[in-house]
Amino acid sequence: FVTVKEALDDLPPLSNGVQGERIKPYAHAPTCDYQRRARVGSPGVINHEAPRLSAINIRRLGHIAPGGNWTDIPDDLLPKGMRAARKSDHTKRYGRVHPDGLASTILTKCDPHWGAYFHYSQDRSFTVREAARIQSFPDHFVFTGKQAQQFAQVGNAVPPLLAQAVGLSIKSILEKAT
C-alpha cells in the first residue's frame, strides 16, 4: 500500500487558509514511484489551496497527534453533540492522519467533523490536491469550480487506479473468452 506520507510529502507546505499561486512548485524531488507517477505531465501543483479552518477547529487540532482523533480533544472544546458520545464511536472524526498509515475514505468534503482530514504535520485540513492524490488522480488533472465543488468532484469519483485495475481485469476475462 501507499502511505499518506508517500502520497503527499512532495507537495508544498501550506498554512491554514493560504491560497498562494495557482500553480505551485513541488517541495522536493519525488521520493517514491507513487509521486513520480502522479507528476507525469504536470506543470506543477494545481488545486492546492488550504481551506480556512475556524479558530475553534485550530484549537481542537492542537490537541490531536498524528493518528489521533476527537477523543484527544478536551471536552470543553468538543462540539456540543459530541460531548456525550462514547469514546469508542466516531473514531475518524476530527482525525489527524498518521503519515505512515492509510487515509480515510475521501468524501465529497474534507470536513474534519466527518473524518480524518487533518494533515499529519501541518495544522490544517487537506487541500483538493491532497484529496485527489489520495484518490490516485494525476497532478495534471485540474478540478474546476469553487473549492466545495472541487472536493465534491474528487469525492464522487472512482479513483483512477481502481478504474484501471477493474478495466484490466475485465479486459483479461474478455480476452480469455475469445
Confidence of residue 169 (pLDDT cuts 50, 70, 90): very high
DSSP single-letter state for residue 124: S
pTM, two decimals, is: 0.93
Rounded CA-CA distance 165/22 in Å is: 32
Q: How far is CA 162 from the centre of its chain?
A: 17
Please state, for a pLDDT cut of 70, what percent of the chain lies above it: 100
Rounded CA-CA distance 16/25 in Å is: 18
Mean of all residue pLDDT scores within the chain: 95
Rounded CA-CA distance 77/20 in Å is: 30
Cell reading at 20: 498562494
Confidence of residue 178 (pLDDT cuts 50, 70, 90): confident
pLDDT at 166 over 90: yes
pLDDT at 136 over 90: yes
Model pLDDT for residues 23-56, shown as the tens digit of each residue: 999 999 999 999 999 999 999 999 999 999 999 9
C-alpha closest to that of 39 among 26, 49, 20, 21: 26
pLDDT at 113 over 90: no
pLDDT at 142 over 90: yes
CB 71 within 8 A of CB 88: no
What would the mean pLDDT of 5-19 be, rounded to a whole number? 97
- Taking residue 126's Cβ as centre, other Cβ atoms within 10 Å add up to 28
Tell me what pLDDT residue 28 has: 98
- Phi and psi torsions of 39, nearest 5°: -85, -15
What would the mean pLDDT of 146-173 be, rounded to a whole number? 96
Q: How far is CA 109 from the centre of its chain?
A: 10
Plot region of 171 (φ>0 → left; ψ -120 to 50 → alpha; else → beta): alpha
Model pLDDT for residues 52-100, shown as the tens digit of each residue: 999 999 999 999 999 999 999 999 999 888 888 888 888 889 999 999 9
